[in-house]
Homo-oligomer: A and B are copies of this chain.
Amino acid sequence: MSRIPRIVILGAGYGGIVTAIRLQKHLNYNEADVTLVNKHDYHYITTHLHMPAAGTDNPENSRVNISRLIDEFKVDFVKSTVMQIKPIEKKIILEDSTLSYDYLVVGLGGEPETFGIPGLQEHAMNIRSINSVRLIREHIEYQFAKYKGEPDRLDYLTFIVGGAGFTGIEFVGELADRIPNLCKKYDVDQKLVKIFSIEAAPNAMPGFDPELVEYATNVLTNKGVVFKLGTAIKECTAAGVELATGEFVKTTTVIWTGGIRGNHMLDQAGFATMRGRVKVDSFLRTTEYENVYVVGDCSIVMNPEGKPYPPSGQIATQQGETCAYNLIAAIRNTPPKEFKYINKGTVASLGKREAVGMVGTRKVKGNKAALLKKLVDMRYLYIIGGIPLVIRKGRF
């Protein structure tokens, strides 16, 4: 290559934005052309989205304009939607143009995994973007407004959350906090409102510490959440949800948090995938093309026992750092570094002033865990935007 290499980053989620920010910090002048492509002109903080979805926080607190994070002299930002990845031609087809690359970073994020359950695609909403959580928030409030004109429609006041993983649990915690306010606002008897957390696995938060899971389900049960564990959803219709037990729960609101798969464009581009996710090598590259890196929910990284780490903002952030390092190494022809995930702790919020978490082998719960959650959030804001962003978006 005699001209300077072109790096294209697809997606400004955790993995993509951190890659871009690290590249703009560490690349020298004229060492590479970096282009960041994203559907929106903002980055959003996916691990906050359960709050604006429930309406307990403003969606504005969960997003940051990309122009505030990116130095336009160093990184070109293209607001567009990716239509196709062509790794052989080293080209990206956008909805309105085409980009060529020498190095590609795919950070397109996940898509809801519905496991083929009929009707979920059509009738359930997902917590996965600013647009999707604004829809959920407005949908929920609209049900209260509609109920007042049709008081026999108790299905308007029944809320089903499919999946009791971290997102599902955090969302029901917020929703349970929101309900009393909505009841007051719309003169609705709180006893009529039902929140169901439905999970196919025998326990909530599968894989998490059992003692903390028990604490979490107790906190949420006391807030009025009804758990249906070990209960698969068989079908979702416009009228409600049929459970594997045969029970039919009438509802106009289903939020599906039961699973994440990788972006469908990776399959289409010919990469070997598992549920749309690409198993990357230890340098975060695809096995097919060593100039293509995958970060975040589209990638799979194995833990030392050979099992995939669950996708998370934390792992994506760390991948972005390693990915930027390895891109610079490739350009400079220096040795890349292996990706090693360091779990700095995992905290799930359970609504206001309640959370559960693990830091190393230490269990944290209650108000202390809720504070820890805030610290984790702020650390991420600091990583991407420094102190000014912590001050602007951190919720103290």
**A residues apposed to B, CB below 8 Å:** 40, 131-132, 134-135, 137-139, 141-142, 144-146, 148-149, 186-187
Closest to A42 in B: B187
B139 touching A145, Cβ below 8 Å: yes
**Is B131 touching A135 in the complex (CB atoms < 8 A)?**
no
Q: Within 8 Å CB of A186, what residues of B?
A: 134
**Which residues of chain B are near A148, meaning CB under 8 Å?**
131, 134-135
Cα distance A187–B145 when bound, in Å? 24
A138 touches B135 (CB 8 A): no
Docked pose: A137 CA to B186 CA in angstroms: 12
| CB pair B131 A142 closer than 8 Å | no
| CB-defined A-B contacts under 8 Å, sample of 13 | A40-B187, A131-B149, A132-B149, A134-B145, A134-B148, A135-B149, A137-B145, A138-B138, A138-B142, A138-B145, A139-B142, A141-B141, A142-B142
Which residues of the partner chain B approach A141 to less than 8 Å between Cβ atoms?
Answer: 138, 141-142
| Complex CA distance for A321 and B240, rounded to whole angstroms | 52
Contact A135 B145 (CB under 8 A): yes
Chain B residues positioned under 8 Å from A149 (CB to CB): 131-132, 135
Q: Nearest chain B CB to A178's CB is how many angstroms away?
A: 15
Residue of B with least CB distance to A63: B187
Q: Which residue of B lies closest to A141 (CB)?
A: B138
- Min CB distance A139 to B, Å, is 7
Chain B min CB distance to A111 (Å): 14
Looking across the interface, which residue of chain B has its beta carbon closest to that of A186? B134
Within the assembled complex, what's the spacing in Å between the Cα atoms of A216 and B335? 73
| Chain B minimum-CB-distance residue to A132 | B149
**Which of A135, A144, A146, A149 has most chain B Cβ within 10 Å?**
A135
Question: Quick one: which of A132, A139, A142 has the most chain B CB within 10 A?
Answer: A142
18 new A-B pairs (CB below 8 Å) besides A135-B146, A138-B142? Answer: A40-B187, A131-B145, A131-B148, A131-B149, A134-B145, A134-B148, A134-B186, A135-B145, A135-B148, A135-B149, A137-B145, A138-B138, A138-B144, A138-B145, A138-B146, A139-B142, A141-B141, A142-B142
Query: Chain B residues with Cβ under 8 A from A137's Cβ?
Result: 145
Which residues on the B side are within 8 Å of A132 (C-beta)? Answer: 149
**Residues of chain B within 8 A of A146, CB atoms compared:** 135, 138
Chain B residue with minimal CB distance to A139? B142
Considering the complex, give the chain B residue whose CB is closest to the CB of A41.
B187
Distance between A114 CB and nearest chain B CB, rounded to angstroms? 16
Nearest-CB distance from A171 to chain B (Å)? 17
CB of A55, distance to nearest CB on chain B (Å)? 12
When C-beta atoms are compared, the residue in chain B nearest to A131 turns out to be B148
Closest to A135 in B: B145
Q: Give the residue name and chain of the B residue nearest to A143 (CB).
A: B138
Residues of B within 8 A of A145 (CB): 131, 134-135, 137-139
A366 to chain B, nearest CB (A): 34
> How far does the Cβ of A52 sit from chain B's closest Cβ, in whole Å?
11
Instruction: Give A139 to B145 CA distance when docked, in angstroms.
Output: 8
Docked CA distance A187–B134 (Å): 11
Closest beta carbon of chain B to A153's beta carbon, Å: 13
State A148–B148 Cα separation when bound (angstroms): 26
Min CB–CB distance A126 → chain B (angstroms): 10
CB neighbours of A135 from chain B (8 A)? 145-146, 148-149
Contacts of A187 in B (CB 8 A): 40
Give 7 closest A-B pairs by Cβ, nearest first: A138-B145, A131-B148, A135-B145, A138-B142, A142-B142, A134-B145, A138-B141
What residues of B have a CB within 8 angstroms of the CB of A142 in the complex? 138-139, 141-142
Q: How far is the CB of A384 from chain B (nearest CB, A)?
A: 21
